[in-house]
């Protein structure tokens, strides 16, 4: 399938077709063409991948490194990609595992390093740059305060609850997709999501936020 034909397919089908095409090009030894086609997948998924990585790393530079490493690893292991599994699900699991490995390594050396301050290039700057459209100054201030509240509340959740909530609420993934990304079974995913929402209600004490969270819950 050509790049033009893949572009006319729905998003996930186009990704699967592109990943399969790259896989075939690799097998044929046409590596320059394979890298060129793979760059299309990188462009389509980079922003989403950065958003996911930042939720784990809480640091713009580390999130960027984690994403780049995940794309390289995915390209190197594309031969193991199964066409029946959406590329974004397969890739996201690689990304999440990479982030968790980085967090473990960072924890081991944490006592030697000071946390990265907010400011240009820091956590707040990254959050602002990935926030999307800019409304009025008043709305920006309120949105920023709300993001800070939610970020602080999310940071208090256990790791698995935070991961499941982030993938379900922010990324709109189904329980089945979260299961494939995290390695948890679907019933466990639903339990973690329920517990995360319940704990966030307590932490935020804001019916408006909990209502929006409930609306975003998705199921297979």
Supply the pTM of this predicted model. Answer: 0.64
Tell whether the model's pLDDT for residue 61 goes beyond 70: yes
- What pLDDT score was predicted for residue 186? 92
Tell whether the model's pLDDT for residue 193 goes beyond 60: yes
Q: Average pLDDT, stretch 40-56?
A: 92
Tell whether the model's pLDDT for residue 27 goes beyond 90: yes
Lowest mean pLDDT among 53-57, 80-84, 129-133, 147-151: 129-133
Please report where in the chains the tokens 């784990």 appear, as a residue.
Answer: 56
pLDDT band at 106 (very low <50, low <70, confident <90, very high): confident
Same fold, 9-112 and 137-220: no
CATH number of 9-112: 1.10.1740.10
φ, ψ dihedrals at 8, nearest 5°:
-85, -5
- As a whole number of angstroms, the distance between CA 183 and CA 74 comes to 17
- What pLDDT score was predicted for residue 134? 54
Q: Average pLDDT, stretch 87-96?
A: 92
Contact 172, 218 (CB under 8 A): yes
- As a whole number of angstroms, the distance between CA 180 and CA 92 comes to 9
CATH 3.30.470.20 is held by the domain 137-220: no
- What pLDDT score was predicted for residue 110? 54
Q: Which is more confident, 34 or 122?
A: 34
Q: How far is CA 15 from the centre of its chain?
A: 16
Contact 88, 12 (CB under 8 A): yes
Q: Which is more confident, 141 or 207?
A: 141
- As a whole number of angstroms, the distance between CA 14 and CA 5 comes to 8
- What pLDDT score was predicted for residue 75? 95
- What pLDDT score was predicted for residue 94? 93
Question: Domain boundaries in the chain?
Answer: 9-112, 137-220
pLDDT band at 135 (very low <50, low <70, confident <90, very high): low
Tokens of 205: 């004490």
Tokens of 128: 């602002």
* End-to-end C-alpha distance for the chain, whole angstroms: 29
């Amino acid at each position: 399938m050509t790049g033009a034909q893949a572009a006319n397919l729905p998003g996930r089908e186009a990704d699967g077709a592109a990943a399969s095409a790259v896989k075939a090009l690799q097998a044929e030894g046409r590596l320059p063409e394979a890298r060129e086609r793979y760059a299309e997948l990188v462009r389509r998924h980079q922003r989403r991948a950065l958003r996911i990585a930042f939720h784990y790393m809480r640091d713009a530079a580390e999130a960027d490194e984690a994403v780049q490493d995940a794309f390289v690893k995915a390209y190197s292991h594309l031969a193991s990609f199964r066409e029946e599994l959406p590329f974004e699900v397969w890739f996201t699991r690689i990304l999440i595992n990479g982030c968790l490995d980085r967090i473990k390594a960072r924890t081991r050396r944490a006592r030697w390093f000071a946390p990265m301050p907010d400011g240009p290039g820091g956590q707040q700057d990254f959050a602002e740059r990935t926030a999307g459209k800019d409304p009025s100054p008043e709305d920006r201030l309120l949105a920023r305060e709300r993001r800070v509240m939610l970020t602080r509340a999310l940071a208090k959740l256990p790791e698995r609850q935070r991961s499941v909530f982030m993938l379900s609420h922010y990324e709109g993934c189904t329980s089945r997709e979260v299961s494939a990304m995290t390695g948890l079974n679907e019933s466990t995913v639903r339990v973690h999501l329920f517990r995360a929402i319940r704990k966030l209600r307590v932490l935020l004490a804001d019916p408006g936020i909990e209502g929006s969270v409930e609306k975003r819950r998705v199921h297979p």
